[in-house]
Amino acid sequence: MIKTALVTGAARGIGMATSRSLADAGWRVYGVDKDKAEDGAPFAEFTVADLTEPFGMTKAVHSILDNEVMLHVLVNNAGRQMIKPLLKTTVKELNTIMAINFEVPLLLVQALYPLLTRARGTVINVCSVHSMATSRDIGVYAASKAALQSLTRTMALEFGADGVRANALLPGAVDTAMLQSGLDRNHVSSGSLNTKLAEMASRHALLRLGRSEDMAKAILFLADEKQSGFMTGQSLVLDGGCLCKLSTE
């Protein structure tokens, strides 16, 4: 039986790498993103949609409902980062970040739960190490990811009786467009993009940044019932060792 997956935020970065890894492992992959995917992407079907809009959510859900009777894995990867001090954050900005980072994963699970139960599938929520340790000017993003991490534990408790697992992946600094855009918040020295990336890499125990493919392999592990079938409600940290070090050192 061919297993099916829905990956959000699938047009690039972790979402694209995950989609390729799943497809290479024989999964039928459905992708959704507000942007178009590159040519040659590994999707059975790709939907361009803004998941924070009702019509976009409907399009994404029906891309699965119209084609499948089971969904083996839902990867809630779509997310948005905002760099702004808490005291300057508007209600509209707060709602925007919470909508895509927290509300959308829950609404997708609600809509697709019958397909997940038929497959005894799994939900994988891509959170962030910012839900465990964070920094200035990124508080709303960190809070939204912490909320998603907490939601994952509740999903595990409420869905377990139906055989549906839920786990969170907490990436650290992964070399994506989102990370690069966030380098302007002055937590690394000034200079060229390559200089900033090199400095950030040097702060890791492994002396390198994460790659989207690193995250994709972890998601494939969490999706595979044979490898992680007794794992639910957990948070898998993949950060190159950045949380190991005390900030005072």
Residue 40, pLDDT above cutoff 80:
no
Tokens representing residue 187 in the block: 């937590």
What pLDDT was estimated at residue 247? Answer: 76
Residue 189, pLDDT above cutoff 60:
no
Share of the chain above pLDDT 90, in %: 79
What's the mean per-residue pLDDT of the chain?
Answer: 92
What pLDDT was estimated at residue 195? Answer: 74
The SS3 assignment for 115 reads helix
Q: What is the pLDDT of residues 94-133, one digit of tens each?
A: 999 999 999 999 999 999 999 999 999 999 999 999 999 9
The residue-averaged pLDDT of 180-202 equals 67
Residue 187, pLDDT above cutoff 70:
no
The distance of Cα 158 from the centroid of its chain, to the nearest Å, equals: 21
Q: What is the pLDDT of residues 42-70, one digit of tens each?
A: 999 999 999 999 999 999 999 999 999 99
What pLDDT was estimated at residue 185? Answer: 54
pLDDT bucket at 41, cuts 50 / 70 / 90: confident
Fold exhibited by the domain 4-173+211-240? Rossmann fold (3.40.50)
Contacts of 215 (CB under 8 A, 6+ apart): 14, 17, 18, 126, 169, 171, 174, 238
Helix, strand, coil shares of the chain, percent, nearest 5, are 50, 15, 35
Contacts of 191 (CB under 8 A, 6+ apart): none
What pLDDT was estimated at residue 39? Answer: 78
